[in-house]
A and B are shown apart, each in its own frame.
Chain A
Amino acid sequence: MRGALAGAVLLAALGGAWAPAMADEDAIQLRDGSWRDLVAARCAICHSLDYLPSNAPVLDRAGWQKVIQKMRERFGAPITDEESQEILDYLTASYASKP
């Protein structure tokens, strides 16, 4: 919840500068699964959620772990240690190429 709200506030704060690029982006539906709303909230702060399905064929659990780490350490994504595990579990279950 907290995360979804933070994301929504950030999106709203940005105003119209990028509005044309994100029209209809919210039509992207993530697969069902535990922690889906958390994943959507955190990832969509900076980018559309189509990055998840487009990279799914390429990434297994270890690959997604690297991605989450990169998002946190290189791109400053506001994700806690606990949330990282939850996000990783969701991505592994719903968007990973290999077991």
Chain B
Amino acid sequence: MPSRRDLLLATAGGVLLGSTARSLLAADAAPVAEELGQLPGKKLLIRRSWRPPNYETPLADLVPAYTSNDAFFVRYHLSVIPEIDTDTWRLKIGGAGAQKPLMLTLRDLRHDFKRVTLVAVNQCSGNRRGLFKPRVPGVQWGNGAMGNAEWTGVRLRDVLNRAGVAGDAVEVVFNGADAPVLPSTPDFLKSLPIERALDENTLIAFEMNGHALPHWNGAPARLVVPGWTGTYWVKHLTEIRVETAPFDGFWMAGAYRVPIGLFPGAAFKTQETAQNTPITEILVNSLITSHVSGARLKTGSKVEVAGKAWDGGAGIAAVEVSTDGRQNWRPSTLGRDLGRFAWREFRYRLDTQKPGALVVAVRARSLGGATQPEKLTFNPAGYHDNIVQTVALEIA
């Protein structure tokens, strides 16, 4: 059984691990042990917790342009996760701001609305929390609480418009089938500002990379909010409520917040307080997927450093590489543009003529003009780690 194949890897710097193990380590190795584990229907992933299940995509599985369904990260807050019968599943649309409440079957969703496909990065708000300095509590994610996939579904706005959105609607609230163990624990409900809910790119998706959504990624239908962090991408959707007042549930009012004025990104005005505001858009970022620190290159060999760059939907303008301690930056070659919400591949040919240490730094710039920062902007929940990444290689 899968659990018998579990491995325990200690991410000790400089230790030469087997090729499989090494490829699983994040470029800036997480400061915690990485234990591999497997959920039904998934391949071996980095297990961050058993229950609720939180599993991270290993670096090797972030190399392909599209992250495969069986390698895509899994993130839950609540431990009761029912297997849903697609025949009896219903999606209820109502709320004080819905003029004609309705109930949809999966068949209704698939046949009664225009089908839309887009490619988008889904990145957990807490991706890289395990790399935070100083460290902060929470799931100690490395680099792999993210992935890039092609999502197919229908526009949320088409569904909402059928339900009739009242003129004074301010937010749309989403609930999924996952539930808490105790009735005293807040259910996982999220809301979006009405304008983001009505955005043409916000989808109710039922397919991922051309296949039905995997159970662990939200079957039979989940929200897809391109450019916004994964917390809004509610899985196993069961109910959508159009509301005329801000939603005050715990997962909006008491979690997933950043100090006000600290980060760029879309505002969520109806949820703002004097102190903090919900995390919203993904910040410009990049990840080296070709190498991890400690890798050895043969002198004179043809080697490219490669990886992915992404942001919250402006798109990537350039990815630059420095090999001289961040003094000079040179442009890398960008891969195919899969859409402004997708990640963009980059590659850069390294000069391997001179033996010795080679420290490679990579920084991305968005079409919105934002560049990855050198210094981490600390925040208590450990969000938005998008600092310039380096890998220390050795040419010998």
CB closest residue in chain A, given B79 = A18
Of the candidate stretches B46-54, B166-174, B238-246, B275-283, the one touching chain A is B46-54
Q: In the docked arrangement, what's the CA distance between A75 and B184, Å?
A: 6
Chain A residues with CB under 8 Å of B50's CB are 21-22, 24-25, 28, 48, 50
Q: In the docked arrangement, what's the CA distance between A18 and B135, Å?
A: 31
- Counting CB contacts under 8 A, is A59 at the interface? yes
Chain B residues with CB under 8 Å of A1's CB are none
- Counting CB contacts under 8 A, is B387 at the interface? no
Chain A residues with CB under 8 Å of B139's CB are 54
* Most chain B C-beta atoms within 10 Å of own C-beta, residue among A10, A17, A28, A54: A54
- Binary interface profile of A, 29-72, with partner B (CB < 8 Å = 1, else 0)? 00000000000000001111011001101110001000100000
Q: CB < 8 Å: which of B49, B136, B138, B140 contacts A48?
A: B49
* Given A46-B79, A46-B182: A63 and B137 interface contact (C-beta under 8 Å): yes
- Binary interface profile of B, 130-150, with partner A (CB < 8 Å = 1, else 0)? 000001111110000000000
* Most chain A C-beta atoms within 10 Å of own C-beta, residue among B40, B81, B137, B139: B137
Interface size counted on chain B using CB atoms at 8 A: 33
Say whether B3 contacts A47, CB under 8 Å: no
Say whether A21 contacts B186, CB under 8 Å: no
Q: CB < 8 Å: which of A21, A27, A78 contacts B39?
A: A21
Q: In the docked arrangement, what's the CA distance between A27 and B51, Å?
A: 13
Q: CB < 8 Å: which of B140, B180, B186, B250 contacts A54?
A: B140
Say whether B51 contacts A20, CB under 8 Å: no
Say whether B83 contacts A17, CB under 8 Å: yes
Say whether B3 contacts A24, CB under 8 Å: yes
Q: CB < 8 Å: which of B52, B140, B182 contacts A21?
A: B52
Task: State which residues 1-31 of B face A: CB under 8 Å.
Answer: 1, 3, 31
Q: CB < 8 Å: which of B39, B81, B185 contacts A46?
A: B185
List the interface of chain B (C-beta within 8 A of A): 1, 3, 31-32, 39-40, 47-53, 79-83, 135-140, 180-186, 250, 254
